[in-house]
Amino acid sequence: MAKSLHAIVADLDNVPYSDTEPALHAIILDKYHALRVEGIDADLGFIPTTLVRRIPWPERDWVVVEHSRAVVLMTPPEIPASCSLRTQILEAVVHRMIEAGLTGIRDGWRDERFAVCGPDGDVVFEVERSASAYFGVVTSGVQMLGYAIHDDDGDEHGRLRLWIAKRSMSKQTYPGMLDCTAAGALAVGQTPRSTVMLEAAEEASIPRMVLETGLRRSGCISYFHAKGLRPQFEGDDDSVVLLLPEVEYLYELQLDPGTVPRPTDGEVEDFRLWDVDQVLDALRRGLFKPNSAVAIIDFLIRHGMISREIEPGYGEIVTRLHRRLPLPWRQSWDD
């Protein structure tokens, strides 16, 4: 069954705001312990309470507060607080999670870390990418869309073509689904631009000179996803639903007809040059990786292909794609 564009976005940004749906928001968040760090006045993540109770939290490093549902990382008094020390303490928890049966963390281990920032933008600690979802921290990635403008008759809607990637069937996540031209996670030590340059070269064989001269940043989107959340969330369900607040930095690149993306590193099976109607049809049929789908919807809005006149849920789509997140994140491109 075909989905509306509004439904595609709502399925990804599916955690309600506390001020618009307070009852449902409270039911969901009641199943989590906030992740906090001593001396920092902000929640930094959300750990499922069922998981908090499955693993030990050494008193030297952690305080588990039941009445306010929080797990607080403490720094030993004889050692100055540092990002490196906190990261080590957190990594010990990750290994306890694996020992408790969360073998997907071990199987998906990438030796890539996400930076977790405090309210001032400083990095508080780092967390292994494959474990980040269990801590409910804000994660970031990049999405780039390559496109071409053909000289056919008609307006830009009829002339614009998007370079769409099909993910390899060997990918750990969303194998065989459609994707943006290049995309990737924003790991520690990388800026959005350096990440997208690397991904575009490795995944799509786009020459560095083309990227340096034509790559254009086009803002970012944010959303708050509960992985595994059913439409009617039952308050007595003990299943683990992971909270995934995410930010995607967006880029676009106009390519001339002589520049054709080609698979290089095995991440992508093939590329196809599609017109807007083909892309919209694939979106509505659910063929795109979810966070790539919303990046493409944002692209089409910016290029005037989706407007208030033709999309009844336009206002809600725009709002949901620029979500107020309840956790701090570094709002800087660092380019």
pLDDT score of 221:
97
Structure-token pair, residue 146: 């390559």
- Say if residue 151's pLDDT is above 90: no
CB-based contact 291:143 (threshold 8 Å):
yes
pLDDT score of 157:
56
How many CB atoms lie under 10 A from the CB of residue 324? 9
pLDDT digits 0-9 by tens, 166-195: 999 998 889 999 999 999 999 998 999 999
| Distance, CA of 115 to CA of 330 (rounded, Å) | 9
pLDDT score of 155:
56
| Distance, CA of 32 to CA of 235 (rounded, Å) | 12
CB-based contact 206:146 (threshold 8 Å):
yes
pLDDT score of 258:
82
Amino acid at 100: A
What SS3 class is residue 267? coil
CA distances for 96 relative to 46, 56, 92, 169, 307, angstroms: 17, 8, 6, 31, 49
pLDDT score of 156:
54
Mean pLDDT of the chain: 90
> At 137, phi and psi to the nearest 5?
-85, 160
- Range with the lowest mean pLDDT among 126-130, 150-154, 164-168, 315-319? 150-154
- Range with the lowest mean pLDDT among 26-35, 233-242, 261-270, 301-310? 233-242
Beta bridge partners of 64: 71
What stretch(es) of the chain map to CATH 3.90.79.10? 5-12+139-320
Per the document, the length of the chain is 335
DSSP string, 66-78: TTTTEEEE---TT
- Say if residue 70's pLDDT is above 70: yes
- How do 45-48 and 113-117 pair as beta strands? unpaired
* pLDDT average, residue stretch 244-264: 94
Which are the contacts of 289, defined by CB distance < 8 A and separation ≥ 6?
167, 173, 174, 177, 178, 179
CA 330 to chain centre: 14
CA distances for 72 relative to 88, 126, 223, angstroms: 15, 16, 25
Structure-token pair, residue 100: 């408790």
Burial of 97 (0-12, 13-18, 19+ CB in 10 A): buried
pLDDT digits 0-9 by tens, 289-309: 999 999 999 999 999 999 888
CA angle 74, 79, 84 (to 5 degrees): 75
| Distance, CA of 170 to CA of 1 (rounded, Å) | 27
CA 49 to chain centre: 23
> At 66, phi and psi to the nearest 5?
-80, -40
Write down the CATH number for the domain with range 5-12+139-320. Answer: 3.90.79.10
pLDDT score of 334:
63
- Say if residue 73's pLDDT is above 90: yes
> 96-100 — which CB contacts under 8 Å span 24+ positions?
96/55, 96/56, 97/51, 97/55, 97/131, 97/134, 99/55, 100/51, 100/54, 100/55
% of the chain at pLDDT higher than 90: 76
% of the chain at pLDDT higher than 70: 93
Q: How far apart are the first and last CA of the chain?
A: 42
Start-end of H helices in 136-191: 156-159
| Distance, CA of 286 to CA of 293 (rounded, Å) | 9
pLDDT score of 17:
87
- How do 70-73 and 62-65 pair as beta strands? antiparallel
